[in-house]
A and B are shown apart, each in its own frame.
Chain A
Amino acid sequence: MTRLLSPAPAPAPVRSPAPARPAPASRAPSPWLVAGLAWLAAAAAAAACTPTIWQRAGDPVAVASALRRVPPTPSLRPRNRDGQPMVYLVLDGPKGERIAALNLATQRVIWNVRAHVTGHLVAGASLLVYADGQNLVARDVSTGRERWRSAELGGGQVLVGYAVDGDQVFMVRRASNELRGGASEVVAFDGASGGVHWRRALGTANVAAPAAGAGLVAVPNRSQFVSLLDATNGAPLADVLSKEQAADFVTALPEGWFYGFATTGLFRLTPDTAAGVRASPDYLSAKLPAFVRVNYERDTYRADLLDYSAFDRNRVLWRVDVTGPRPRFLDDMVLAMNYRFFFAFEASTGRLRWAYSQPEFEAVSAVRQAKIVLFATAGGEIVGLDPDNGARTYDLLLADESVRGATFDSEGFAGGAPGAAPVLSGVLSGIVRDPDRRFPEMKLFATEEMRGVPGTAVTEELLRILADEELPGGVRKRAGEVLVARRDPDSVQLLVDAIRVHPDRIAGTRPAGIAWLAAAAASLKARAAAPPLAEQLVLPETDLAAAAAIARALGEIGAESAVPALRDYLCQYRADPAFEGAPLALFSTVDALLGLGHARERELLVFVAAEPRTLPALREHIRRSMLEHPRRD
Chain B
Amino acid sequence: MRKPAIDNRRAARGGPEGGERWTRGESPRSMVAGHAGVSVVTKIAVAVVCVAWVTGGAFGRAHAEARSKKKAVGAGDTGAIELGGAALAKLRGALEGGDDEVFVETVKTLSGSRASNASEPLIEVLALGTTPPLAVVALNALEKLAQPRSADIVLAYCGNRNAAVRKSALLALSALTDPRAGAVFLARLGDEDQGVRSVAAVAAARRLKAEAAPRLRGLLETKDGVAAVPLGQVAPVGELPSLIGLRGRVSDADYATLLGEILKRTDVPDPARVEVVQALADVPGADATTALAEYVADPGAGARSGRSLPSQALAKKMLDERGKTP
Spell out A's residues near B (CB within 8 Å): 503-507, 538-541, 561, 563-565, 567-568, 570-578, 599-600, 603-604, 606-613
Contact = CB atoms under 8 A, between A and B. Distances in A.
Nearest to B163: A540
A384 to B, nearest CB: 49
B71 to A, nearest CB: 24
A507 B35 CA distance: 35
Contacts of A574: 129
7 contacts: A505-B192, A506-B219, A540-B160, A540-B163, A564-B37, A603-B53, A607-B53
A contacts with B: majority SS? helix
Contacts of A504: 187, 190
A393 B48 CA distance: 74
Contacts, number: 115
Contacts of A603: 46, 49-50, 53-54
A191 B70 CA distance: 115
B218 to A, nearest CB: 4
Contacts of B48: 607
Contact of B38 (A564, A599, A611): A564
A572 to B, nearest CB: 5
A599 B54 CA distance: 11
Given A505-B191, A506-B219, A606-B53, A568 B39 contact: yes
Nearest to B53: A603
A306 B215 CA distance: 64
Contacts of A507: 190, 218
B184 interface: no
Contacts of B129: 570-576, 608, 613
Most chain B CB neighbours (cut-off 10 Å) among A507, A570, A572, A575 = A572
Closest 8 CB pairs of A and B: A610-B1, A504-B190, A607-B49, A612-B98, A571-B129, A506-B218, A567-B42, A568-B41
B191 A600 contact: no
Contact of A540 (B39, B98, B189, B191): B191
B131 interface: yes
B162 A506 contact: no
A607 B4 contact: yes
Chain B, interface size category, equals 35 or more
Contacts of A567: 39, 41-42, 45-46
Contacts of A564: 35, 37-39, 42
Given A504-B187, A567-B42, A603-B54, 15 more contacts: A503-B192, A505-B189, A505-B224, A506-B218, A540-B162, A540-B166, A541-B192, A564-B38, A567-B39, A572-B129, A576-B131, A578-B132, A599-B31, A606-B49, A607-B128
A603 B1 CA distance: 12
A599 B132 CA distance: 29
Nearest to B224: A505
A153 B211 CA distance: 85
B127 interface: yes
B52 interface: yes
Nearest to A606: B53
Contacts of B53: 603, 606-607
Contacts of B224: 505
Given A540-B191, A564-B35, A607-B52, A600 B46 contact: yes
A503 B39 CA distance: 22
A571 B127 contact: yes
Given A505-B191, A600-B31, A607 B41 contact: no
Interface string B17-45: 00000000000000110010111011001
B159 A613 contact: no
A586 to B, nearest CB: 11
Contacts of B218: 506-507
Interface string B165-194: 010000000000000000000010111100
Contact of B1 (A505, A568, A604, A611): A611
A572 B41 contact: yes
Given A503-B192, A506-B219, A539 B1 contact: no
Nearest to B103: A613
Contacts of A578: 132, 161-162
Most chain A CB neighbours (cut-off 10 Å) among B130, B161, B187, B192 = B161
B266 interface: no
A503 B193 CA distance: 12
Contact of A576 (B31, B52, B54, B162): B162
Given A504-B190, A541-B192, A574-B129, A600 B32 contact: yes
Contacts of A606: 1, 49, 53
Contacts of B166: 540
B42 A575 contact: no
A559 to B, nearest CB: 11
B1 to A, nearest CB: 3
A601 B301 CA distance: 62
Contact of A571 (B42, B187, B190): B42
A571 B128 contact: yes
A506 B190 contact: yes
A613 B132 CA distance: 11
A604 B35 contact: no
Contacts of B127: 571
A432 B33 CA distance: 51
Contacts of A538: 156, 159
B160 A572 contact: yes
Contacts of B49: 600, 603-604, 606-607
B157 interface: yes
Given A571-B127, A578-B162, A604 B46 contact: yes
Nearest to B32: A600
Contact of B128 (A506, A541, A599, A611): A611
Nearest to B125: A613
Given A506-B218, A572-B129, A612-B98, A540 B42 contact: no
A603 B52 CA distance: 10
Nearest to A544: B161
Contacts of B219: 505-506
Contacts of B290: none
Most chain A CB neighbours (cut-off 10 Å) among B42, B189, B222 = B42
Most chain A CB neighbours (cut-off 10 Å) among B46, B127, B129 = B129
A578 B127 CA distance: 18
Nearest to B216: A506
A541 B191 CA distance: 8
B189 A506 contact: yes
A572 B50 CA distance: 18
Contacts of A599: 31
Given A603-B49, A604-B45, A607-B49, A577 B39 contact: no
Most chain B CB neighbours (cut-off 10 Å) among A505, A561, A599, A608 = A505
Nearest to A537: B159
Contacts of A610: 1
A610 B189 CA distance: 38
A321 to B, nearest CB: 61
Interface string B129-165: 1111000000000000000000000001101111100
Contacts of A506: 189-190, 215, 218-219, 222
Contacts of B4: 607
B189 to A, nearest CB: 6
A539 B158 CA distance: 9
A262 B5 CA distance: 79
A125 to B, nearest CB: 69
Interface string B202-224: 00000000000001001100101
B1 A607 contact: yes
Most chain B CB neighbours (cut-off 10 Å) among A504, A506, A564, A600 = A506
Contacts of B128: 571, 607, 611
A578 B162 CA distance: 9
A539 B159 contact: yes
Most chain A CB neighbours (cut-off 10 Å) among B48, B127, B190, B219 = B190
Interface in B84-122: 97-98
Contacts of A539: 159
Contacts of B132: 576-578
